[in-house]
Amino acid sequence: MKKRFIKTITPFQSRMKFSNNYNFKFHITERLKWMKKYLKNKQLIVEIGSGNGLSKKILNKKIITTDIFDEKWINFKIDMNKMSLPKKFMGNIDVLIFNHSLHHSSNPLTTLKKARKLLKKDGKILINDPEISFFFKFFLKICNHERWSTKKNDWKDNNATGYLLFGNKQIKDKFMNNYIIEKNNLSEFLIFLNSGGNGINAPYIPLNNALLKFITIIDKLLVLLAPRVFALNRSVVLKKIK
């Protein structure tokens, strides 16, 4: 077994980092804030694979959190591969959120098909997932943290999941007959690398708000110029088709 360059941390430790690492707080807030407009006036919002549960703090306190691990901030303990929420949720959910969790599914195609049954008419799925660019491959390699593969049907813990599902303008997978893609954007580079990590403890340089905002501007330019080199995050919105 290879020795890890960095140490993994628990969801609780990640929540504590939100309080004492401003870089991390800024980064996670930036990653999630685009979702706010899709949550406005929505009654039933469920997050799948909530982990540290920070979505409640950043987006909406009414978000129902779920995870395979039982934590005090998790409302329902479920396996995303089964999507076994209580029957009262069936066909009643306005918005489902997968924030860096979909790539942990054993088969995201099946998971998204099952998710459709939980959504209301015109319900939406909001997704953030890693983007397997040149630099993401590089840092996964040197840090020995998780894995990636561009082989089709190789899903579990695959950081290339977002690219495999949404990296082509003409997506031919059958599940896409069930959804319209309303958003499919790439983002994050330096802001990601200098956050200190979410599920890990990584070295970082503490910066103030002005400098962090400046870095996000640099990131947008880098991702625009060379997305396959720099992009570390993909954001997607799926709208349920009737």
The backbone region for 133, taken as left when phi is positive above 0, alpha when psi lies in -120 to 50, beta otherwise, is beta
CA distance 11 to 133: 26
Q: How confident is the model at residue 177 (pLDDT cuts 50, 70, 90)?
A: confident
**For the whole model, what pTM was predicted?**
0.95
Q: Find the helix packing angle between 22-33 and 11-20, rounded to 10°.
A: 100
Nearest Cα neighbor of 18 from 27, 7, 8 is 27
Say which residue, 114 or 7, is predicted with more confidence. Answer: 114
Instruction: pLDDT band for 8, please (50, 70, 90 cuts).
Output: confident
Distance CA 56, CA 64 (A): 8
pLDDT at residue 68 in the model: 95
Mean pLDDT confidence for 70-76: 95
- Mean pLDDT estimate for the chain: 92
Here the tokens at position 68 are: 């395979």
Predicted confidence (pLDDT) per residue in 224-233, tens digit? 999 999 999 9
| pLDDT at residue 39 in the model | 97
Domains along the chain with CATH numbers: 7-240 (3.40.50.150)
Whether 3 shows a pLDDT value over 80: the answer reads: no
- Residue 75 DSSP SS3: coil
8 A C-beta contact, residue 189 and residue 223: yes
Judge contact between 191 and 27, C-beta under 8 A. yes
Average pLDDT over residues 22-40: 97
- Is 60 exceeded by the pLDDT of residue 172? no
Measured distance CA(194)–CA(191) in Å, rounded: 5
